[in-house]
Structure 1
Amino acid sequence: MNHRTAIIDIGSNSARLVIYEKTSRYGFHLICEQKSKVRIGEGAYQKEGHLQPNGIKRAFLTLHSFQETIQKYKTSKTICIATSALRDAPNGKAFVSWIKKELKLDIQVIDGEKEAKYGAIAVNNLLPVSEGITIDIGGGSADLALIKKGRIIDTYSLNLGTVRLKELFFDKGKPLEDARAYIHNALNALPEHFKHHRAIGIGGTARALSRSIMKSTEYPLDKLHGYRYTVSDQQSYFEDVYRSSAKGLKRFPLKPNRFDTIREGTLIFDELLRYMGAEEVITSSVGVREGIFLNSSLNKRTLKFPEGKNPSIESILSRFKPMVNVEKNKKAKLQIALSLYHTLLQQSNIDKIYLNELLSALKLSSIGKTLTIYRSHKHAFYIAIQELNYGFTHEQMALIALLLRTDNDGTVPRILVKEYRSLLPSKNVLTWLSFFYKLTILIHEASNSAKIEFSYENQVLVIYSDKSLYLAKEKIRALKKPIPFAIIIADQNELPKNKNLGII
């Protein structure tokens, strides 16, 4: 059985359980997620921080249920952490001791800076960014991390949280300006170097806002992780949300389960964006829990995946293992693509930046055959569009998935191109890449580890092979070429001599 790790995260507003399964050295995926709105901090900010009976009861029942799930999944390791609600509560230690006695569960109460660090570790490994400031707004605190050149430079925790603001201001009907002044006072403690044009939104508030923007703009890709938007385009929307009445929230494309704290969270988020001078927001669906998991599994010195190792690709390849013996020579497939790409680069007039997407698609080209060889390219497309989650932009995800969907004639279906048009490169680039992809597949499947070389001159592409490419010839002739040119196959295709059959 693969290694499984359970992580419980007790926040001021919600408690969550996630279980990750490690499928290879660098591949992992989420196999279980449960959430309960325990509101353990409910009423605490008006009672000098003390946890109240209702919140304690909900937390106990939730943790007991989480433990039953963990037992069912037979996890190898369980890590339970708690954040601001418990670290701020005078009776927090008593709660931790009581849970350990009753449920045999060890709760680690972490400070805000460690919380910010875990979020930054997740972002640093699972988002295609190397610069920015992470913002994780919880019920009791807002935790930030400054990342530069792929390194976590600094972390900071502010006593700004949605539940805290709700109970101190919104529930009491106090003027909005009082809440804003409270936020500004907290921001005065933030070090001056926490300025950046890019904010990375972690946590419920940032995700809820991004999802509502995606819905209102009819965004083509149903994937929150990696979604980007320009701050100036959305600030009037943010203001409409936090100035709304509780009943008025129904007119926004927000999930009803976010209504209780979305106004407070949006106000905090908007003020943080203004303070740091953010121009764009990138949404992260990973945060503290993923950071804790990676912290326990990555190299302790670097806390980074090795260069060239993408956890999504590693996970897909370890879970969808078609024809293992046939795929042993996958390096030869990538080498064919590289040689073909560079031979026709001048003719195609496309940027070298797309080579990574082409090679990524080729690595995944056989995953659809795990289900069935029939329509395997369609299965591969759906697997990729769902499972390519980490380390790629949405543009890269869409392009890789569509290359996997390439038809027998080397083209991508028009209906998919139309659906994902806003995320795809130009028609010329897509046409060339799908041609490169399909031609590489055809040569590789027919060549049986042959030595393959290419030349292009006078509008003729010559494919040299030291083994027969007989089975590929007919299919190659059927390919639609991006521009007019001829394809000649120069391979070793000799018949054995046999006098009885008239072959001499």
Structure 2
Amino acid sequence: MAKRTAIIDIGSNSARLVIFEKKSRYGFNLICEQKSKVRIGEGAYEKEGYLQPPGIKRAFLTLQSFLHTINKYQVNQTLCVATSALRDAPNREAFVQWIKKELGLAIKVIDGNKEARYGAIAANNLLPVKDGITIDIGGGSSDMALIKDGQIVDTYSLNLGTVRLKELFFDKGLTPEVTHEKATAYIQQELLQLPEHFRHALAIGIGGTARTLSRGIMRQTAYPLDKLHAFSYEIENHRSYLDAITLSSAKKLKRFGLKKNRFDTIREGTLIFKEILAHIGAERVISSAVGVREGVFLEQLLKRDNLKFPSTINPSIVSILDRFKPMVTLEKRRKARQKLASSLYSVLQKDIGDDKAYENELQYALKLSGIGKTLTIYRSHQHAFYIAMQELNYGFTHEQILLISLLLRMYGKELLNKPLFEQYKPLLPEKQTLLWLSFIYTLTVLLHEASNRADIRFTYENRTLRILSDKPLHLVKEKIKALEKPVPFAIIIEDEKSIPKNTLLGI
């Protein structure tokens, strides 16, 4: 696969460019993202779908600019897809051929089912979900996919889009109530075409409308983590908020905490989203910051893997390790450290009693424990925290992201950073559990760094943790003495002594 791949997505409302850089077999990261509100479908829905000159001109200038960026980044491969507005346009072939001739860019016009499938590929690989229905509301269509047990089982495309509804109903000068009534009837009629098996309690929100609403809800609720991807909410708790947006006048939209650049189509999008959620019986929404563009990229990356990352692979973890290259790079050493932590977690279960519920998060933190030293050894644990908070995006819940990041941050004498704990408390395990996990993480790192590949075992009886080693652990003893403990207990180290028996001390 090409080292750098550019994906251009031409939608009815916006055109976007993303450039991914591939570092290893499964490691990749986003290195460039650009967007332009081309509104290529503007005026088309009232003109039998024909693309109109203003939209065509904006699209041309945007694509021309994208190609300059692609050239600057020395991209190896460029893929361009176009969705609803172009596929509905009788003059699409003339536009596609014109762009090919003038700019040398090949545009692939995809149908609604393909668009839905791309979004589902992205969500299925990059969100912590195995089941649900993806909903991607664009300017001209709403594309949906049904995911069951990690497999995409069906797709469907509805002629419901924000620009389409705006031109058919919201731009007619009617009162908000009358507009709402007519548009709702139109949406509900279209939804009758959706196959009966498109029913699920979890909706996966893809695209601008879903992201904008999630951002608004995050602001309304003072959500502690500023990360949209994998943010989730219960629909019933925010039903009145969604209802109010659909009935609002354009001038009053600012009171909902929404981005101003979404005001022109957010009422239409919210109404479509709300009606789809009700129709499929959704109870919860999880937000996706990935969609068609990531799906196009992953289709190529994972074509030999049945379009799914292997169960042992998390793309965020791979990407971080590829780019920040922690000192513990040998797989054998990494596995030894993880085995050490697992053993310690097991023997301490007598006091912890959580059935090792957080072992995955603990193991991921240990995999990443050296990433901060890539920048500098001083305060490397703080650097590791910030790297993890920014880069742990794919396949994790917000709770997991925070726990892994805070374990990386809490390396040292104290097991809990109180300001961070208070800031993110609603998304973290209870305090005592966090103290135990931090203790296990910190002790494992200390032992592994100072043990020189020793064979280390643990026992825990009568509130005494014994650390048995076949090699000296002199350097770690002082640090362990100063280490805070989750509860009072003794730590005894029984290691091989490093001083030869016949040595005369003091000479």
Pair in the same fold by TM > 0.5: yes
| TM superposition shift of 1:428 | 1.3
Q: 2:464 corresponds to which residue? A: 460
Distance 1:226 1:274 in 2: 21
Correspondence for 1:362:
366
How far, CA to CA, are the matches of 2:445 and 2:386 in structure 1?
Answer: 19
Q: 1:436 is matched with which residue?
A: 440
What is the Cα deviation at residue 162 of structure 1? 0.1
- Aligned-partner Cα distance in 1 for 2:503–2:348: 44
Counterpart mapping for 1:296-315 below 5 A = 296-300=300-304, 302-315=306-319
**Cα distance, 1:7 vs. partner?**
0.1
| In structure 2, distance between residues paired with 1:354 and 1:256 | 40
Aligned residues: 503
Q: Please provide the CA RMSD for this pair.
A: 1.5
1:32 pairs with 2:32: yes
* Residues 270 and 434 of structure 1, relative CA distance in 2, 3 Å threshold: same
> Aligned partner of 1:426: which letter?
E
How big is the shift at 1:497? 4.6
Q: Which residue of 2 aligns with 1:403?
A: 407
Paired residue for 2:73? 73
In structure 2, what residue type is equivalent to 1:34? Answer: Q
User: Which runs of no fewer than 5 residues in structure 1 stay unpaired?
Assistant: none
SS state at 2:48 partner: coil
1:272 to 257, 276, 280: 276
Report if aligned partners of 1:460, 1:487 keep a CA contact under 8 Å in 2.
yes
Q: In structure 2, what is the Cα distance between the partners aligned to 1:271 and 1:193?
A: 17
Q: Cα distance, 1:184 vs. partner? A: 0.8
Name the SS of the counterpart of 1:489 in structure 2. strand
Compared CA separation, residues 410 and 192, structure 1 to 2 (3 A): same
CA distance, structure 2, for counterparts of residue 240 and residue 375 of structure 1: 47
- Whether the aligned pair in 2 keeps the contact of 1:44 and 1:51 (CA below 8 Å) is yes
Call closer, same or farther: CA 1:157–1:2 in 2, change over 3 Å. Answer: closer
Q: Please tell me whether the aligned partners of residues 162 and 268 of structure 2 are also in contact (alpha carbons under 8 angstroms).
A: yes
Rounded to whole Å, the distance in 2 between the matches of 1:16 and 1:448 is: 51
Report the residue type matching 1:16 in the other structure.
Answer: R
Write the mapping of 1:165-176 to structure 2, written as runs, cut at 5 A.
Answer: 165-174=165-174, 175=178, 176=180
Describe the SS at the equivalent of 1:461. strand
1:403: how far off?
Answer: 0.4
Taking structure 1 as reference, are residues 366 and 4 closer, same or farther at Cα in structure 2, changes over 3 Å only? Answer: same
- Aligned-pair identity (%): 68
Residue of structure 2 equivalent to 1:246: 250
Look up the SS of the partner of 1:448 in the other structure.
coil
Q: Which residue of 1 aligns with 2:145?
A: 145
Instruction: Quote the Cα distance in structure 2 between the aligned partners of 1:128 and 1:184.
Output: 30
Determine if contact 1:410/1:439 at 8 Å carries over to the other structure: no
**2:380 is aligned with 1:346:** no
- Give 1:410 deviation, angstroms: 4.4
- Asked if 1 retains the 8 angstrom alpha-carbon contact of 2:328 and 2:334, the reply is no
Which amino acid in 1 is paired with 2:246? Answer: Y
- Note the C-alpha offset of 1:496: 2.3
Matched, 1:332 2:339: no
1:53–1:357 CA distance, 2 compared to 1 (3 A): same
CA shift, 1:351, in A, is 3.9
Output aligned runs, 1:22-421, within 5 Å: 22-174=22-174, 175=178, 176-300=180-304, 302-323=306-327, 329-421=333-425
Task: Confirm or deny: 8 A CA contact 2:11 2:83 kept in the other structure.
Answer: yes
Q: What is the CA–CA distance in structure 2 between the aligned matches of 1:366 and 1:463, rounded to whole Å?
A: 23
CA contact (8 A) 1:410 1:438 kept: no
**CA-to-aligned-CA distance 1:179-217 (integer Å, 9 cap, x gap):** 111101110100001010100000000000000110111
5+ long unaligned stretches in structure 2: none
* Alignment TM-score, normalising by the size of structure 2: 0.97
How many Å apart are 1:353 and its aligned residue?
Answer: 2.2
In 2, Cα distance between equivalents of 1:421 and 1:501: 53
For 1:372, the aligned partner's letter is T
Aligned to 1:14: 14
SS of structure 2 residue aligned to 1:309: coil
Task: Give the TM-score normalised by structure 1.
Answer: 0.98
SS at match of 2:5: strand
CA distance in 1, matches of 2:349, 2:459: 12
Distance 1:324 1:71 in 2: 37
SS in 2 for 1:353: coil
1:214-273 deviation line (CA, Å, top 9, x unaligned): 011111110000001010111111111111111111222001000010000000000000
- Structure 2 residue identity aligned to 1:458: N
Find the residue that maps to 2:133 and give its secondary structure: strand
- 2:127 maps to a residue whose letter is L
User: By how many angstroms is 1:407 displaced?
Assistant: 3.7
Q: Deviation digits for residues 409-434 of structure 1, max 9, x if unmatched?
A: 14121000000000001111101000
> Helix, strand or coil: the match of 1:44?
coil
SS at match of 2:182: helix
CA contact (8 A) 2:36 2:62 kept: yes
Deviates further, 131-140 or 407-416: 407-416
Q: Whole-Å Cα distance in 1 between the matches of residues 74 and 41 of structure 2?
A: 31
Paired residue secondary structure (1:147): strand
Is contact 1:127-1:284 (8 Å) kept? yes
Alpha carbons of 1:500 and 1:178: their partners in 2 closer, same or farther (altered >3 Å)?
A: closer
| Whole-angstrom CA distance in 1 between matches of 2:241 and 2:424 | 25
Using a 3 Å threshold, how does the CA distance of structure 1 residues 376 and 41 change in structure 2: closer, same or farther? same
SS of the aligned residue for 2:146 comes to strand
